Structure 1
């Protein structure tokens, strides 16, 4: 019976060790999951921040593009006005008509 009790005690001890080991594993797993959760949260926050920055840059570029398009229109109108002025000046211009500037 002494051997029986020793074996039984050994089995109980092994069961206790398994429970303790399982508890340690559970604790490690929970800590690892918590670290992973926090890291994922940080990653999502960085991703959102980056998306916000890109959206802000996009808005700024859209405004610049709009202003540049307006500037192009103004310059095209000025070019047209100057071309018309040149065209009306050409028939009267002695230089363009190869006439001497000072009549002899």
Structure 2
């Protein structure tokens, strides 16, 4: 399905950013799906959790996050794309971060 270009590019990017990253974070449900497809043997998911929050309009929303490993590194997948965090307030994003931090540290 994939020709290896994307896997090679991503691995080189990780190597350039940090030779020993402590955590790899994938933002957005679709991006995380592609990461798992590109690296099916490297991206191992140990836990999936849903978090409920109230959005700016008072509606209940669900965010999913996944915890696992990418080879020897911690891996976090977020269903929310932080470049466009629709339905989130600053407080909601802070609480999501605190919940995830409790899980990984």
TM-score, normalised by the number of residues in structure 1? 0.17
TM-score, normalised by the number of residues in structure 2? 0.17
Mark the structure with the bigger radius of gyration.
Answer: 1
- Between Structure 1 and Structure 2, the one with more strand by share is 2
- Higher RCO (CA-CA < 8 Å; seq separation 6+): 2
